[in-house]
Chains A and B, each alone.
Chain A
Amino acid sequence: GENVEQHPSTLSVQEGDSAVIKCTYSDSASNYFPWYKQELGKGPQLIIDIRSNVGEKKDQRIAVTLNKTAKHFSLHITETQPEDSAVYFCAASRSGTASKLTFGTGTRLQVTL
């Protein structure tokens, strides 16, 4: 089955700096890679996703890059703000009805003033 590794487990950045979280996956057939943000006491919220037919996707201060050859993908947050502080999870799956998302172990991002 799919295995997703996520690094780092914790990340502390100063407000205004950039943050990068990296994930690797094992199943070369995986073609869907979402990122979720989980605030304390809440359920994970989808913040951005990418499919294997593109290499990069941006949404305001958030971007995701995908390297299919190396089987890794990354989340980039620019101009970080205190409200970006949360746990971020990457995930991978094959599209279609016969699969499920496999999540990374999460990264706790702390944005300090």
Chain B
Amino acid sequence: EAGVTQSPTHLIKTRGQQATLRCSPISGHTSVYWYQQALGLGLQFLLWYDEGEERNRGNFPPRFSGRQFPNYSSELNVNALELEDSALYLCASSQRGVGNTIYFGEGSWLTVV
């Protein structure tokens, strides 16, 4: 069974541009979570989508947004990129209502120059 898949693996953008990251959850999972992990730091919760709706949002500015598609895949968009947005962006998925066991993908490295 395929795990959580993310694309692209690496992305380099210029300050002020927009970045789009994509995630496909484990088959059968309806919840998708996005986390930001700056170099050497912990995991900061960004967004949680379930059944196509945004369920919760972390302490990030509105230029971080996303959506979940009918097939439960998800997209994270970061507008007006800033240098400090450089980080590993991790997507995770879980079955809805099954104790929040979440499984992570390998992440997308975003570098803003």
Contacts and interface: CB of A to CB of B under 8 A. Distances in A.
B43 A44 contact: yes
B34 to A, nearest CB: 11
A44 B42 contact: no
- Main SS at interface, chain B: loop
Interface stretch (A19-27, A57-65, A72-80, A99-107): A99-107
B42 A104 contact: yes
Interface of A: 32, 34, 36, 42-46, 49, 51, 89, 93-106
B33 interface: yes
Nearest to B105: A43
Contact of B90 (A43, A97, A105): A43
B55 A44 contact: no
A97 B42 contact: no
Contacts of A98: 55-56
